Amino acid sequence: MLVGAGKARLRLAQAALLAGVLTGCSGAAEDDAKTSSSASASADAASADDTTVKSGGSIGAAGSACELPVTFDIAEDWKAEAIDDGTGGGGEDSAEPDSELAQEVADALLHQGPVTAACEVDAKPAGNIGFLRVWTGEAADDDARAVLEAFVKAENGASKAKYSTFGAGGLKGVEVKYLVTSELLEETKEETALAVSTKQGPVVIHLGGMDTDEHRAMLPAYELAKRTLQGT
């Protein structure tokens, strides 16, 4: 893993301890929300097929910020970072002293259904509060639809899932749009994810966000990733 992966792992725990769910805040303070408000307002009307978002480069290939079974473009100014899976090799930062509770929460959040968190792409440098998170799994007989259904089922508060198929870069995949309700925050927000099967195993790319407005503002970046998706 790259240096900094331990920090990415700890952020998962911090987000859960503060909000009870992966909200994409990653411990963001009130000032972050103020910084994001203008960007969100200008992007509220952005459609899912918006092609104007600029690419900030590709990740997934060997030597990139996150080495994955797939490659895709990330939006300009978004920052990718590998997530330490706790198996070692995470560099100096992976040895930071986590609290026992934070460690337990992080371990739980590293896995959702049949996949494990491998990479997060932070939207904050571009003015939004949220992440594209990439999850990977072991090679198995389950197809992309089964993997994605299990992923959604494992998310607390998920409902009204609508699935569809797509193709990109020679890959056939399944996409889902659904709602997540947080009892703690007493609010419901939109989320989107896709899954593809590769020779190395399934890959899930998930877009959350602090709330529905942030989610919709970041959809063009998700669509860029989906549009440029290829196997490695």
Q: How far is CA 188 from CA 151, 169, 183, in A?
A: 18, 33, 9
CA dihedral for 80, 183, 43, 154, sign (positive or negative): positive
This prediction has a pTM of: 0.76
Report whether pLDDT(91) > 60.
no
Angstrom distance (rounded) from CA 214 to CA 201: 30
What does the DSSP assignment read for 136-197? E----S--HHHHHHHHHHTSTTEEEEEEEEEEETTEEEEEEEEEEEETTTTEEEEEEEEEEE
Say yes or no to pLDDT of 25 above 60.
no
Q: Is the pLDDT of residue 16 over 50?
A: no
Domains in the chain: boundaries: 5-231
Q: DSSP class of residue 4? A: T
Sign for the CA dihedral angle at 93, 94, 97, 98 comes to: positive
Mean pLDDT for all residues in the chain: 79
Architecture of domain 5-231: 3-Layer(aba) Sandwich (3.40)
Mean pLDDT of the 199-215 span: 95
pLDDT digits (tens, 9 = 90+) for 121-148: 999 999 999 999 999 999 887 899 999 9
pLDDT (tens digit per residue) in 103-112 = 667 767 799 9
